[in-house]
Amino acid sequence: EIGGFDTKYKKAGVEEYEMGHRLAEKGYNNYIYRDILYDHYYDSLPKRANSLLRRVSIYLPLFLKKRKFETEGGTGTFFEFSMILFSFFGLIAISLSLVSYKLFIVPISIFAVIFMLNAKFLFYLMAKEGVFFSFRSFFALLYLYISMGLGVTFGIYSLMAGIGGKNG
């Protein structure tokens, strides 16, 4: 009835979100089954970051059309958007702190907020894998959030250039 997945989206990306929105427009309910276990495998952190950058840039036009965040479990949640903003502000604040060492408190404060908002996850990692792993994971999270922020930037550029975000 809704035509299945939109094949204009190249590679795996946001086709499930787009299809979910079309289902909702037709009056169908979308359910998230939390009891299903699945595993994502990425060769490396840079490959995961690249995947997120691409997916967010593709997702942006859909988000702007619907003007609402996903509720959970994706890169389109309000939490993820907040982390993207905090991470970018943290990077900007680092460059400002180069002007005056007294301004270094600003990026430290921003990164402390990011840490606190991700504390449950980071403490889980600490309990499972140790302090050093959790510490490194914090910087990996920042890297991923910045990658998603770049995805927002590229998505906006694609929209402005008339590409529409369906690039592969």
Q: How far apart are CA 11 and CA 14, in angstroms?
A: 9
pLDDT attached to residue 136: 94
pLDDT higher than threshold 60 for residue 91: yes
Mind listing the pLDDT tens digit for each residue in 108-133? 999 999 999 999 999 999 999 999 99
Q: Which residue has the tokens 């930037």?
A: 153
pLDDT attached to residue 51: 83
Q: What is the DSSP string of 111-142?
A: HHHHHHHTHHHHHHHHHHH-HHHHHHHHHHHH
Which is more confidently placed, 61 or 136? 136
pLDDT attached to residue 143: 93
Q: How far apart are CA 153 and CA 44, in angstroms?
A: 23
pLDDT, the chain, mean:
81
Q: How far apart are CA 124 and CA 145, in angstroms?
A: 19
Q: What average pLDDT score do residues 141-156 get?
A: 89
pLDDT attached to residue 142: 93
Q: How far apart are CA 168 and CA 70, in angstroms?
A: 22
Q: How far apart are CA 151 and CA 60, in angstroms?
A: 8
pLDDT attached to residue 165: 45
pLDDT attached to residue 168: 44
Q: What average pLDDT score do residues 78-107 get?
A: 86
Q: How far apart are CA 105 and CA 90, in angstroms?
A: 11
Rank 10-14, 21-25, 86-90 by mean pLDDT and report only the highest: 86-90
Q: How far apart are CA 164 and CA 156, in angstroms?
A: 9
Structure tokens at 89: 């502000």
Terminal Cα distance for the chain, rounded: 26
DSSP letter assigned to residue 167:
-
**Whether pTM exceeds 0.95:** no
72 pLDDT band, cuts 50/70/90, is low
